[in-house]
Amino acid sequence: MAEMRRELAALLAGAVLLGALVPGCLSQAENRPPAAVLTAFPRAANTGQPVVFDASNSTDRDGKIVRYHWDFGDSTEELGVSVEHSFSEGGTYTVTLTVTDNEGKKDRANSTVRINEYPAARMDPVGLEVKVLSQVLFSGANSTDPDGSVVDWRWEFGDGKTGKGSQAVHVYEDTGTYIVNLTVTDDFGACSNCSSAVTVVLRSFDITWPLSTRSLPQVSQYSSENTTTNRTETISFENMTRVQFRLTWTDDIRHWLLLAFNDDFALRVTDPSNNTQYLRDMKGDISLNFTLADPPAPLSLKAKSPADALAQIGDKYGSGLGRGDWLVWVILGEAGGLQEITGPDADLGNNWRLDINCQVFELVITEK
């Protein structure tokens, strides 16, 4: 037993001596590196949109992480457990996280993010001045997307109306200045817009009053000597400026040798305002002219439409002068002939014709 104790003591002494001769054999275990873990949200974003990078799930089992370093792949870097970063250009970026523990051990982790560039909205035409109630064609077909395609076009015309499509037609119903806005969306869902002012003005019209002639049915009749034929002619034309009554006849008895008298006709007319004209003649043609009014002077005005221009004019330029019943007397005295030379009168009457022509002005609206 004593011998065994001496052997154990010798072994223990040898172990102590060996530990003294071989440094580090009794020191603690070697430090392990940390484990880098990163998350990115969102993994796909637009230029200028913040992306949150987080390394809080990174661990170190035998120490602690003292440094979090981020390399965003766009020549920028940052420190921190959780950071935000915005990318100024589109593309796919590899983001690298490097963590360092208290013993200087490091670990890395990578993640990729996709950055989309916004589309560029373009509207044609811009700075328009258009006439009210005109169809205006707007186009967004020249809008572009640098890393994809434009898939949607939305229009706001500034008057509460909207439209969609790469082209849109709109009609402004009132004058004023309107701001037109175009919003385009790309295949990533990113939107951009542009706007332009549209000035809507009234239309310009010239108002003229050309003259034309309206006629009543022609009257043809026979009158005996020393008789009067009474007629009532009703005229209903608007905007009359002049009315002409013309009586014509042709002598029907002539002698190749002896002088014969022409027919002796007279024409009398009274207008609806009780103005009377009278003329007697033997030449075969009598005209009575009644002047009622002058046509209005030409003018210019601004309006939304021809109908609006007509409404502005109203009835202030119209005329009802001369409308109504006209009283006509055709009087035949002597019918001429050779009665005083050859004996019994061979010419007892004659045929005559009455033409009634009315000069009227008409309203013509012409857009400039």
**Which CATH number does the domain housing residue 89 bear?**
2.60.40.10
DSSP code at position 104: S
Domain hosting residue 136, numbered range = 128-201
Q: What is the pTM of this model?
A: 0.69
Task: Give the C-alpha separation, 153 to 167, whole Å.
Answer: 8
Statement: residue 13 has pLDDT above 90: no
* Cis amide linkage into residue 125, ω under 30° from 0: yes
* Domain final residue pick, 185, 201, 217: 201
241 and 98 share a domain? no
238 and 313 share a domain? yes
Report the pLDDT averaged over residues 337-341. 49
Q: How many domains does the chain have?
A: 3
The full length of the chain comes to 368
212 and 195 share a domain? no
Amino acid 346: pLDDT: 58
* Domain final residue pick, 53, 88, 116: 116
240 and 361 share a domain? yes
96 and 138 share a domain? no
Q: Virtual CA dihedral for 294, 297, 298, 302, nearest 10 degrees?
A: -120
Structural domain includes residue 246: yes
Amino acid 335: pLDDT: 79
236 and 280 share a domain? yes
Q: Letter for the amino acid at 308?
A: D
Q: Are 92 and 188 in contact (CB under 8 A)?
A: no
* Exposure on the CB side of residue 159, measured as CA atoms within 13 A: 15
Statement: residue 7 has pLDDT above 60: no
Decide: residue 54, CB within 10 A, 0-12 exposed, 13-18 middle, 19+ buried.
middle
User: Which of the two residues, 30 and 79, has the higher pLDDT score?
Assistant: 79
**Least confident stretch, 4-13, 163-172, 283-292:** 4-13
215 and 197 share a domain? no
Statement: residue 3 has pLDDT above 60: no
Token pair listed for 66:
């003292």
Token pair listed for 367:
């857009």
292 phi and psi, to 5 degrees?
Answer: -100, -45
Q: List 150's β-bridge partners, or say none.
A: 186
Structural domain includes residue 232: yes
Q: In sequence order, which residues have a C-beta less than 8 Å from that of residue 26 and are 6 or more positions away?
A: 19
Amino acid 317: pLDDT: 87
Report the pLDDT averaged over residues 171-195. 98
Report the pLDDT averaged over residues 3-30. 48
Report the pLDDT averaged over residues 159-166. 98
Amino acid 348: pLDDT: 84
| Per-residue pLDDT tens over the stretch 203-259 | 999 999 999 999 999 999 999 999 999 999 999 999 999 999 999 998 755 555 445
222 and 184 share a domain? no
Structural domain includes residue 22: no
pLDDT band at 162 (very low <50, low <70, confident <90, very high): very high
Mean pLDDT, all residues of the chain: 90
Task: Give the C-alpha separation, 54 to 122, whole Å.
Answer: 38
How many other C-beta atoms can be found within 10 angstroms of the C-beta atom of residue 167? Answer: 13
pLDDT band at 277 (very low <50, low <70, confident <90, very high): very high
Task: Give the C-alpha separation, 155 to 138, whole Å.
Answer: 9
Structural domain includes residue 28: no
Residue that is written with structure tokens 């990533």 in the block: 188
Task: Give the C-alpha separation, 357 to 368, whole Å.
Answer: 33
312 and 240 share a domain? yes
* Domain final residue pick, 144, 177, 201: 201
Amino acid 17: pLDDT: 40
Structural domain includes residue 21: no
